[in-house]
């Protein structure tokens, strides 16, 4: 007996797929249902969807948070592409009402498991990717998870000093920090000094062996000495 509680029309419409899509039907077929009905499960789609979601969020972070370094970007991505976050995305989509699961899982209230919901989300993304291509899949993932990325990016240990300072300044209505960098010394041993100002107020300065390092030091100094708006 199928546990497909409502037709796939609404979900298919949101994805731009046909309600008769075989891939979409497969995406909502859990292994417990497949074992009882001798059919294929969504596990292979989940495997593919995991990679598509990971790439889409990495792409989003690189485009929308250009000041994040590799380490901070990896932390941010891991805080969004994980079981809990994807399960919440699945819940927002109402995927639980579409899932086909086995009788044993029904008795165990398996639809409440974050792992099952996260896997289903990835499988649905894979179905979209295979039927319509990467761009629609990327757009869908980024739209669904944009707020999750924004929320995760607000954690102070995720952001590099320049991004953290910029977000604070913008939130306080002070505008975007402006950096002015000067260099000194011979080309083989050059030193950079950066000053950062926000609005009309000179906030701080920093020094380093590279322009980026000097700006980072200035941003860190400004952050530590900031005046709460």
122 is catalytic: yes
Q: What are phi and psi of 30, to 5 degrees?
A: -75, 155
131 is catalytic: no
Which one from 67, 119, 122, 220 is the annotated catalytic residue?
Answer: 122
Which one from 46, 50, 67, 119 is the annotated catalytic residue?
Answer: 50
DSSP characters for the chain?
-----S-THHHHHHHT--TT-HHHHHHTB-HHHHHHHT---SHHHHHHHHHHHHHHHHHHHHHH-TT--HHHHHHHHHHHSSHHHHHHHHHHHTGGGT-B--HHHHHTTGGG-HHHHHHHHHHHHHHHHHHH-HHHHHHHHHHHHHHHHHHHHTSTTTS-HHHHHHHHHHHTT----EEEEEEES-GGG-EEEEEEEETTEEEEEEEESSHHHHHHHHHHHHHHT----
Catalytic positions are 50, 122
């Amino acid at each position: 007996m199928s546990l497909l509680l409502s037709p796939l029309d609404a979900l298919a419409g949101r994805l731009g797929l046909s309600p008769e899509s075989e891939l979409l039907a497969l995406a909502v077929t859990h292994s417990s249902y497949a074992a009882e009905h001798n059919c294929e499960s969504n596990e292979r789609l989940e495997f593919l969807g995991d990679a598509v979601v990971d790439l889409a969020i990495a792409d989003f972070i690189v485009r929308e948070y250009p000041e994040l370094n590799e380490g901070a970007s990896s932390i941010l991505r891991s805080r969004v592409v994980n079981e809990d976050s994807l399960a919440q995305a699945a819940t927002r989509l109402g995927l639980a009402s579409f899932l086909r699961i086995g009788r044993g899982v029904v008795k165990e209230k398996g639809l409440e498991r974050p792992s099952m919901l996260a896997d289903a989300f990835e499988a649905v993304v894979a179905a979209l990717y295979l039927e319509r291509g990467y761009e629609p899949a990327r757009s869908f993932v980024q739209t669904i998870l944009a707020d999750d990325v924004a929320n995760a990016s607000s954690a102070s240990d995720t952001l590099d000093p320049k991004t953290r300072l910029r977000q604070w300044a913008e939130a306080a209505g002070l505008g975007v920090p402006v950096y002015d960098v000067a260099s000194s010394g011979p080309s083989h041993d050059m030193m950079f000094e950066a000053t950062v100002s926000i609005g009309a107020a000179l906030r701080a300065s920093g020094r380093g062996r590279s322009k980026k390092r000097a700006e980072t030091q200035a941003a860190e100094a400004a952050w530590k000495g900031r005046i709460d708006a």
